[in-house]
């Protein structure tokens, strides 16, 4: 009789620490070890041999499952089913190679059903006889499960690597900010920016009261080509209504007011009350949101290069919407980026705005630097582990 493969040996203990919530790196290593272990066991018996025994085992159990109800009993149909089962099972066994491991398991299963009348207990004895061959099928099932686990572990490890990258960026930025001059005169940046923001907000408020909705929508359409002018584009149906209907000559505040009128009252202002309500009343949130915010400067401001690009893109819109004083205020903001002290002031402004008391404490006692070192080491481990093989 050939060497048997105990079913318990087909299961790896590489995941024994799963209850301890391993890190993504540990889970990846464990999954890879699990797959390597089962592949080694399959190789020990020969991959073709394991496949052959597994195929025979699955065919045998399928036969038993198919005939267990039909071939048990005393009727004529039961006897006919028994004859079919015995013939098919005998053919299966006869087709096995003489030196196939566990061939005797199949012979013993055939012997268990080789009788004139079968009961369910005979089928159970046949299944019990096939247990040694089942271990080979378990190996292949374990290999598939290990492949799936490895694929999932790789996904989790890659996700963790992206998270670690983000965490590293945050720690590096904190360390950058720790070098900021917190006593720097950041009001040199704040005051011009606040003056411009206040002016453009007032300018947009007045523009909404004066410009037709059609004119405003033309401006919104133009903003598509300016990445820093982040106006949300209106829905297509609303665009068509404003451009093609005479109601588009009204201002946005007027359209919003009319949308609240009764249909009889609204008929004095527009050709179709239903059309206005269908297109405007359903878009009140959007129309209310067409404001100055996409043309304001955030505080703290971005790097000098970004500020230059942003103000350059804002200018044609500000010139269209607001007065010359607002355009001049925007020009003053743009000139800030040419100040030799801009980087120092901008970093100081970022530090004051972004560093919480807890972060300042962690910077002071060295914890941020320690965290950064640990994160970089973790990223290196993850990258090395992910580079070992391709996804299964």
Give pLDDT tens digits for 212-221. 999 999 999 9
| Domain match, 307 and 232 both | yes
Is residue 376 assigned to a domain? yes
Nearest alpha carbon to residue 296 among 202, 214, 206: 202
357 or 43, which is more confident? 43
- Least confident segment among 226-235, 249-258, 285-294, 347-356: 347-356
**Residue 60 pLDDT exceeds 70:** yes
Is residue 360 assigned to a domain? no
Stated pTM of the model: 0.54
**Residue 8 pLDDT exceeds 70:** no
**Residue 324 pLDDT exceeds 50:** yes
| Domain match, 167 and 34 both | yes
What is the spatial distance between Cα 245 and Cα 119, in angstroms, rounded to a whole number?
A: 84
**Residue 285 pLDDT exceeds 60:** yes
Interior CA angle at 341 toward 335 and 347, to 5°?
105
Is residue 385 assigned to a domain? yes
| Domain match, 191 and 140 both | no
- Least confident segment among 30-34, 95-99, 239-243: 95-99
| Domain match, 223 and 346 both | yes
| Domain match, 165 and 287 both | no
| Domain match, 274 and 194 both | yes
The confidence score (pLDDT) of residue 28 equals 92
Nearest alpha carbon to residue 383 among 13, 24, 60: 24
Task: Kindly report the average pLDDT of the chain as a whole number.
Answer: 87
**Residue 392 pLDDT exceeds 80:** no
| Domain match, 159 and 192 both | no
The confidence score (pLDDT) of residue 389 equals 67
Report how many domains make up the chain: 2
| Domain match, 381 and 279 both | no
| Domain match, 202 and 258 both | yes
Is residue 271 assigned to a domain? yes
89 or 333, which is more confident? 333
The confidence score (pLDDT) of residue 115 equals 76
| Domain match, 51 and 128 both | yes
| Domain match, 26 and 97 both | yes
- Least confident segment among 4-18, 57-71, 334-348: 4-18
Share of the chain above pLDDT 70, in %: 93
Share of the chain above pLDDT 90, in %: 51
Is residue 200 assigned to a domain? yes
Helix axis angle for 24-45 and 47-67, nearest 10°, is 90
- Binned at pLDDT 50, 70 and 90, residue 390 comes out as low
Residue 334 has which token pair?
Answer: 């743009």
Nearest alpha carbon to residue 242 among 272, 217, 206, 207: 217
The confidence score (pLDDT) of residue 80 equals 78
Give the residue numbers spanning the domain of 142.
Answer: 1-183+366-392
- Least confident segment among 1-10, 13-22, 217-226, 330-339: 1-10
Write out pLDDT tens, residues 287-323: 999 999 999 999 999 999 999 999 999 999 999 999 9
Is residue 27 assigned to a domain? yes
Is residue 359 assigned to a domain? no
SS (H, E, C) 290-353: CCCHHHCCCCCCCCHHHHHHHHHHHHHHHHHHCCHHHHHHHHHHHHHCCCCCHHHHHHHHHHHH
- Binned at pLDDT 50, 70 and 90, residue 86 comes out as confident
The confidence score (pLDDT) of residue 269 equals 83
Write out pLDDT tens, residues 199-208: 999 999 999 9
The confidence score (pLDDT) of residue 238 equals 94
The confidence score (pLDDT) of residue 330 equals 98
Is residue 35 assigned to a domain? yes
The confidence score (pLDDT) of residue 292 equals 97
| Domain match, 172 and 202 both | no
Q: CA–CA distance from 306 to each of 195, 200, 296 (Å)?
A: 19, 19, 14
């Amino acid at each position: 009789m050939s060497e048997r493969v105990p079913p318990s040996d087909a299961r790896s203990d590489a995941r024994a620490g799963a209850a301890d919530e391993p890190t993504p790196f540990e889970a990846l290593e464990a999954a890879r070890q699990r797959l390597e272990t089962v592949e080694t066991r399959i190789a020990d018996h020969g991959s073709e041999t394991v496949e052959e025994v597994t195929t025979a085992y699955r065919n045998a159990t399928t036969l038993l499952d198919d005939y267990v109800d039909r071939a048990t009993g005393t009727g004529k149909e039961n006897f006919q089913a028994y004859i079919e089962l015995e013939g098919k099972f005998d053919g299966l066994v006869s087709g096995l190679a003489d030196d196939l491991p566990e061939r005797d398991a199949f012979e013993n299963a055939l012997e268990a059903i080789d009788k004139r009348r079968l009961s369910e207990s005979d089928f159970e004895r046949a299944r019990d006889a096939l247990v040694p061959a089942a271990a080979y099928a378990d190996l292949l099932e374990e290999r598939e499960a290990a492949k799936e686990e490895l694929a999932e572990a790789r996904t989790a490890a890659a996700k963790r690597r992206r998270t670690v990258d983000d965490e590293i960026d945050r720690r590096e930025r904190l360390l950058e900010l720790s070098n900021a001059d917190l006593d720097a005169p950041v009001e040199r940046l704040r005051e011009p920016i606040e003056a411009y923001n206040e002016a453009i907000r007032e300018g947009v408020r007045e523009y909404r009261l004066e410009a037709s909705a059609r004119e405003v929508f033309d401006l919104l359409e133009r903003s598509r080509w300016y990445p820093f002018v982040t106006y949300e584009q209106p829905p297509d149906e609303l665009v068509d209504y404003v451009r093609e209907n005479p109601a588009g000559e009204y201002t946005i505040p007027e359209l919003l007011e009319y949308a609240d009128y009764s249909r009889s009252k609204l008929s004095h202002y527009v050709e179709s009350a239903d059309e206005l309500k269908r297109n405007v009343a359903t878009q009140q949130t959007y129309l209310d949101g067409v404001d100055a915010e996409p043309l304001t400067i955030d505080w703290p401001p971005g790097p000098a290069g970004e500020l230059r690009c942003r103000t350059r893109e804002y200018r044609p819109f500000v010139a269209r919407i607001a007065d010359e004083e607002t355009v001049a205020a925007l020009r003053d903001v743009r000139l800030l980026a040419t100040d030799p002290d801009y980087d120092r002031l901008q970093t100081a402004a970022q530090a004051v705005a972004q560093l919480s008391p807890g972060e300042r404490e962690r910077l002071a006692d060295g914890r941020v630097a320690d965290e950064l070192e640990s994160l970089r080491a973790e990223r290196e481990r993850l990258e090395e582990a992910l580079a070992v093989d391709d996804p299964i």
